[in-house]
Amino acid sequence: MLAVSIVYALALHEYAHALAADLQGDRMPRAFGRLTLNPAKHLDPLGTLMIFLVGFGWAKPVEFRPSALSSKRFGAAIVALAGPMMNILLATLAALVLAVFSIDPFESVTGTFLRYFFSLNVLLAVFNLLPLPPLDGSRLLTIFLPPDRQGIIYFLDKYGFIILLALVFFGGIRFIEPLIDGLGSLILTLTGH
């Protein structure tokens, strides 16, 4: 159930990126077959294997052309935000199903799946907003950083992945736990839990 949750959460996250780019006029994701809900089109072979081996993995990033987007200043940020926003939407839907149908998240297979799906999507939303390449949050820096601070982006492009791996494998990710708990609590409150 956890593996299915991860596969679909990652695939729908990437689909949202592709859809956001397509809606802004960039047909590259469509041409590469990424504008689909089929998980097989979004999964990275090594990233998928890592999910099963170590419980942490990734999907294939959606390639798009910022120059082809209708908004030159905000287009790339909109594409980047689409993935985490999809995860928030999926977490909200899981919480709504649990609430509307009064499903106990600990007493049934359906409840257990929805609990995993909810938790995983909240985690993915927060994690992907970290401002480290290749995560979605790194694209937001280009909007919020003043021009004289753009050197930070070049540094992160060069070393961000190494920093990210160090955080993941040496437990440094714990500092986002309050954000994960806060977002999860907010969604549960809004959905009547």
**Tokens encoding 129:** 């907003």
Q: How far apart are CA 79 and CA 64, in angstroms?
A: 9
16 CB burial (10 A radius; 0-12, 13-18, 19+): buried
Q: How far apart are CA 111 and CA 23, in angstroms?
A: 35
Query: 3-class DSSP state for residue 59?
Result: strand
Our measurement of the distance from residue 19's CA atom to the centroid of its chain's CA atoms, rounded to an integer in Å, reads 14
Query: 3-class DSSP state for residue 43?
Result: strand
- Measured in degrees and rounded to the nearest 5, phi and psi for residue 13 equal -60, -50
| Catalytic member of 14, 63, 107, 177 | 14
Q: For tokens 């809004």, what's the residue?
A: 190
- Whether 14 is catalytic is yes
Residues with a known catalytic role: 14
